Chain A
Amino acid sequence: MKRRLLLLSLALALTACARSTLHNTGVYLLVDTSGSYNRQVRKAEQITLYALSRLQSSDSIAVARIDTGSFTEKDIIAKATFDDRPSTANQQKRAFASHVEQFIDQSMPAPYTDITGGLLQAIEFLNEKHTARKEILILSDMKEELAKGYVRDIPLDLRGFDVVALNVTKLRADNFDPRQYLTRLDEWRARVEKGGGHWRVINDLDRLDGLL
């Protein structure tokens, strides 16, 4: 009987010491609010809700906007690390969804598009969370336009990151010369893969099954 109690105590002690960061997922959604893409922002809600439905306890999620200067915590609209307890995690999800909905209703277009700054912020956020799986979702046309004085020619350390460009819309100029669109995507692919990340593009938002 003593031995059984000892084993039970040992199991409980192991439970207390067990690390929770080995199986969790971190998701960072960047939402382009620039003038050329602001009409698509409503789709961010759909992606956020999908991500929330896929995430579990101890997973982390953040939604941030891409504007003139995106490398700042101020651009993070909502962030959460879900509680261990499923019931609390569900409450957090509902609150998060409500927060994102509010942001989308009040979103204002930005004059410039600092995608690189948003990516750097996402890398920093997810690295701090020590998640086992790191996903950066970019809802943008991937056309970066930097304001004067912003330096973004910085190598990205994307080792262990999955970068997914969502709903990459074609610009008016792309219609005249599709090579611009393809070149834009190829440049981003090269940049992400050079940084050690994995690049994907999903344009059909009705088929997000393989996303998370």
Chain B
Amino acid sequence: MSMTSLLTFTPWPAMSATILLVLLVAALYFARDTAHQAIQTAASALARGLRVASHSVTRAQERLAARNREVLLAAGREAKERIVEREFARVGDTVRKDLAGYPDMQRRLSEAIQRIEEDQEKAVEVPPDAPGWAQAVKVVADLDSHNAGADILSDIHKSMVKAHAEAMNDYRKASSERHALLRRMMPDWRLIQETLGRVSKSVASVIDRSQVIDRHMEEYEAIVRGEDRALSVLSSSSIVYFFISALVLAVATAGTAVNFTLIARPMAEMVGGTNFIGAFRTADIAALVIIMVEISMGLFLMESLRITRLFPVIGALSDKMRVRMIITTFLILLLMACIEAGLAYMREVLLLDEMATNALLRGDEAGSIVNAHLWITTAAQMGMGFVLPFALVFVAIPLETFVHSLRTVVGLLGIAVLQALALLLRLLGNASRHLGALAQRAYDLPLFVPLWIEARRRAAAPAPPSAPATTQADSWREART
């Protein structure tokens, strides 16, 4: 039934339209409560669903945050353990180095002190003997002067002067010996001073290390306790490590590309220039495999040296086995480096050959002339071919840092995404509720005439007994709960 036929059920289309409009408004008015309930139910169902989804995402985000926290704390704990372990090893080295010679040092100190004591005893100043003549002189002096004591006194005087001179000589000699002894004590004093200085330095170093260990232990304890501050520090450190290691890995990738360029062309001589595996040239894949093997050997070497800890199995090997592994991986790397240097040389030879052929095909005589300084680039290429495999060994360090920090960074990104998603779902839930209310108002818009009449009638009617009226706000509250 078309609109035209609808408007023709009376002879006057305007009349038909008016009747239809009235009927439509009436129908909408009588269905108003049901329609409102339907809109409200649909909106609240949607809002509830979105809220549930939001809660679910929030819980997932919390779980991820907890997991990330655990990972971060575990990583921090491990890193601190390594640092503390290393510090203890250094302290151990210091103690071993300095205190291993402690018995010898003590013996030398004791000997020096003993020598000093002996010399000191020898150097004690012996007072000169009191002249034995003093009493005799007093007795003679008390004698009568007529007893010719003057001659005796004169002899005594002479004897005393002589004795005094001898005593003075002895005293000077003794003093000279004492000074000699004291001079001999000087090297012992210096020895003691130097030894004690060394001891003091060692002790100060140990004290410094112990302070560093204390600081790390405090941080370690904070990590073990799971303090937020420690977590924050670990988190920011992890992000910094991530970017730095990514930068270094980018540099290493550039080095790998250079390495690849050096060996890809000569590899075509070995495995053929036109064979393909999938969409890639076999020569390119072979060159890439060589570089990957070098990187793998570098990883194993670093693991064997216990510089990185990506493979616990290697770290747990016995020292003897580790040393064997170090030697093996180093020899393989050396072999690879020699092969690369050879390939780099071959590359230059092939390049010259190709240039000569192309010059011949172009009829260009000048193109086939070889540059006299070409050996410089050849040597540089060979050098790069030899050095790059060893340089790539150190990729293991940033790789380990990247792998470890990647977990944290991905976790943080995941948390941020889940938080945003939860917020979005919550917003959508609220929006759906408001859209439900808006839809109800939109439904009422064409019904403004009957609604106005209803409001007037309600205003004119007496108030009903106090029944608990259910407001829209209450209904929404119910819906929300």
Number of B residues, CB within 8 Å of A = 26
> In chain A, residues 54-76, which have Cβ atoms closer than 8 Å to a Cβ of chain B?
56-58
CA distance A85 to B289 in the complex (A): 19
Which of chain A's residues have a CB closer than 8 A to the CB of B272?
20, 57-58, 84-85
Q: Are A49 and B286 in contact (CB under 8 A)?
A: no
Q: Contact: B275 with A15, CB < 8 Å?
A: yes
Stretch from A90-98, A103-111, A192-200 that touches the partner: A90-98
In the complex, whether A53 has a CB less than 8 A from a CB of chain B is: yes
Q: Do A49 and B363 have beta carbons less than 8 Å apart?
A: yes
Nearest CB on B from A205, distance (A): 14
A97 near B360: Cβ-Cβ < 8 Å: yes
Q: Which residues of A contact B353 (CB under 8 A)?
A: 86-87, 90
Tell me the bound Cα distance from A90 to B268 in angstroms: 13
A8 touching B275, Cβ below 8 Å: no
Most central of B271, B274, B360, B361 by chain A CB within 10 Å: B274
Is the CB of B296 closer than 8 A to any CB of chain A? yes
Tell me the interface secondary structure of chain B in the complex: helix
Whether a CB of chain B sits under 8 angstroms from the CB of A173 is no
Contact of B273 with A22 in the complex, beta carbons under 8 Å = no
Tell whether B354 is near chain A: CB-to-CB under 8 Å.
yes
Judge whether A18 and B275 touch: CB under 8 Å. yes
Q: Does B276 contact A (CB under 8 A)?
A: yes
CA distance A14 to B277 in the complex (A): 7
Query: Given A52-B361, A97-B361 in contact, is the A15-B350 Cβ separation under 8 Å?
Result: no
Which of A4, A86, A93 touches B296 (beta carbons < 8 Å)?
A4
The answer on a CB contact under 8 Å between B360 and A57 is: no
4 nearest A-B residue pairs (beta carbon): A84-B272, A58-B274, A57-B273, A18-B275
30 contacts between A and B (CB under 8 A): A11-B277, A11-B289, A15-B271, A15-B277, A15-B285, A18-B277, A19-B275, A19-B276, A20-B272, A24-B274, A49-B362, A52-B361, A53-B358, A57-B272, A57-B273, A58-B272, A84-B272, A84-B275, A85-B268, A85-B272, A86-B268, A86-B273, A86-B354, A87-B269, A87-B350, A90-B354, A90-B356, A90-B357, A94-B357, A97-B361
User: What is B's interface to A at a CB cutoff of 8 Å?
Assistant: 265, 268-269, 271-277, 282, 285-286, 289, 293, 296, 350, 353-354, 356-358, 360-363
Given contacts A19-B275, A84-B268, 19 further A-B contacts (CB under 8 A): A11-B277, A11-B289, A15-B282, A15-B286, A18-B275, A20-B274, A20-B276, A49-B361, A50-B361, A57-B268, A57-B273, A84-B272, A84-B273, A84-B274, A85-B268, A86-B265, A86-B269, A93-B361, A94-B360
Interface residues of A (CB under 8 A from B): 4, 8, 11, 14-15, 18-20, 22-24, 49-50, 52-53, 56-58, 84-87, 89-90, 93-94, 97
